[in-house]
Copies of this chain bind each other. A is one copy, B any other.
Amino acid sequence: MTGARAGEALRLGVAGLGTVGAGLLALIERQHELRIPGRLEVSAVSARSRSRGRGVDISGFRWHDDPVELAEAEDVDVVVELIGGSDGPARRTVEAALRAGKPVVTANKALLAEHGVEIAALAEARGVHLLFEAAVGGAIPIVRSLRDSLSGVIAARVSGILNGTCNYILSEMLRTGAAYAEVLSEAQRLGYAERDPYLDVSGMDAAHKVLILASIAFGARPDLPQVSVEGVDRIEAMDISLASRFDYRIKLVAEAFRDASGVTCRVAPALVRIDHPLAQIGGPLNAVIVEGEPVGRLTFTGPGAGAGPTAAAVMGDLARLFDGPATAPFGAPARTLAPLLSRARVSQERSAFFIGARLSDRPGVLAALSEALAEAGVSIDKLIQDSAGDTGAAPVAILTHLCPRAAVERALVRVSELAITADVPRLIRIEARA
């Protein structure tokens, strides 16, 4: 089947009962309060552990140990995949459902970023829906807006804060002055970060998400190895506090942009001026900015994760199943998606940069640092050097004028040879526009 008519019932198989899955079951119980054009019934569920406490009663649903079996069950019209992970059971479940001609609703950004083309092609071949609003930006309706409402926009850039964990960590480091590791532990304690925080703090989760947005906005083929990815794990509290004295915030910015050569994707920390819309996004919020002709700039903000927001996004996709036949998951047919440009292009950029470091405890190091920059052709716009205090290493922060990234990188190689700094300097792009 390819969907349902308004007023009909859709029978769901829900694979994955973590926070989001439990949130979805709770929201389905309240469906009479929602604006869904038909009825949703849960036929069967599947998860790793049947007995885990979830705060929702699953005794009324048939249980499958194997989510593929659930996907293929005769009384399942639609599969909701909330298992997660780019391979393994999630992928097998989604593929089994699509092969059986059943629509799939998923929140799985890793799967889409790594196997999106194949899976979209499969959905297109079977003429069924593959919907994934919940994969990017939590409850922010950015996937469907980009694909449908904004199809009259010639997008030039899609950027934003796509990982709430990193944003929470950076916000807390600014607020408390605490070190990265300390704030991360606290975030884990509060449930804002996973026990294994790698996907989040490495920038990889944001990379998955920005690829999905790039595929829709620009018709770019998701190709994870071509995304330049840097996380927040090397940012020091001193970088955040000195950037703030220059009226900047440090944010993990994910971006996809199109120029004459093609489409580039990257995730990296960036300095944004305090009057930039992303500077206002605090804590675990997400934000997406779409820039293009003839609209200028559109900004979307909201909770980027969590049971409720993600479940609501899944619900919106389920409602879509009552609204007519499937369209290509990424807007353009999967086989027409064009390759991304190489991530190496990022190192060819011209930008203004922030350099943060601690100077070694020797006379003349600031002069040597300035000289290394000058020799590489990098000119200094602003500089703050703070007192070394009892650490013996003086925090320094530099804003450069516009220059090639390669020039600053060359200067930092020289700095390393000269052992001018007591730590590895952080090189962070400054976002050009307010």
Q: Is A303 a contact partner of B296 (Cβ separation < 8 A)?
A: yes
A35 touches B298 (CB 8 A): no
In the bound assembly, the distance between CA atoms of A26 and B154 in angstroms comes to 13
Chain A, interface residues (CB within 8 Å), range: 35 or more
Q: Contacts of A297 on B, CB cut-off 8 Å?
A: 302-303
Closest to A322 in B: B327
Please, how many angstroms separate the alpha-carbon atoms of A27 and B295 in the complex? 11
Bound: A140/B142 CA distance, A:
11
**Complex formed: what's the CA distance from A298 to B306 in Å?**
14
Do A145 and B152 contact each other (CB < 8 Å), given the known contacts A295-B308, A296-B302, A327-B37? no
Query: Which B residue sits closest to A275, measured CB to CB?
Result: B280
Knowing A141-B149, A300-B300, the reply to whether A309 touches B295 (Cβ < 8 A) is: yes
User: Interface digits, A142-161 against B, CB 8 Å rule (1 contact, 0 not)?
Assistant: 00110111111110000000
Q: A148-B323, A149-B144, A154-B34 are in contact. Are A23 and B294 (CB under 8 A)?
A: yes
- A127 CB to nearest chain B CB (Å): 12
From A295, which residue of chain B is reached at the shortest CB distance? B139
Contact B154 A298 (CB under 8 A): no
Distance to closest chain B CB from A362 (angstroms): 44
Determine the distance from Cα of A309 to Cα of B149 in the docked complex, in whole angstroms.
12
Establish whether residues A327 and B316, one from each chain, have CB atoms under 8 Å apart when the complex forms: no
A30 within 8 A of B: yes
Asked if A312 is an interface residue, CB under 8 A from chain B, the answer is yes
Q: Contact flags (1/0) for A21-43 with B, using CB distance below 8 Å?
A: 00100110010011111000000
Q: Indicate whether A254 reaches chain B with its CB closer than 8 angstroms.
A: no
User: Beyond A6-B327, A280-B280, A302-B299, is A312–B27 a contact (Cβ under 8 Å)?
Assistant: no
In the complex, A18 has a CB within 8 A of chain B: no
Q: Are A151 and B316 in contact, with the CB atoms below 8 A?
A: yes
Does A166 lie at the interface of the complex (its beta carbon under 8 Å from any beta carbon of B)?
Answer: no
The one of B27, B30, B36, B295 in contact with A302, judged by C-beta atoms closer than 8 angstroms, is B295
CB <8 Å contact, B153 and A144: no
A80 to B311, CA, bound (A): 36
Do A316 and B139 contact each other (CB < 8 Å), given the known contacts A280-B280, A309-B294? Answer: no
Does A126 make an interface contact (CB < 8 A)?
no
Q: Given the known inter-chain contacts A148-B323, A318-B152, A325-B324, please indicate yes or no for A293 contacting B280, CB distance below 8 A.
A: no
Give A268-305 as 1s and 0s: 1 = Cβ < 8 Å from B's Cβ atoms: 00000000010010000000000001111111111100
Q: At the interface, yes or no: A219 with Cβ under 8 Å from chain B? A: yes
Tell me if A404 counts as interface (CB < 8 A to partner B): no
With known contacts A327-B323, A332-B35, A152–B27 Cβ distance under 8 A: yes
Other A-B pairs beyond A34-B152, A35-B151, A149-B313, 9, CB < 8 Å: A23-B294, A34-B153, A35-B219, A141-B149, A151-B316, A152-B312, A295-B302, A295-B303, A301-B301
Q: List 22 A-B contacts (CB under 8 A).
A: A23-B294, A26-B294, A34-B154, A37-B327, A139-B153, A140-B298, A141-B141, A141-B150, A145-B145, A149-B316, A150-B316, A152-B314, A153-B312, A280-B280, A294-B309, A294-B311, A295-B302, A295-B308, A296-B303, A298-B300, A298-B302, A324-B327
The 4 closest A-B pairs by CB, nearest first: A324-B324, A152-B315, A294-B308, A141-B149
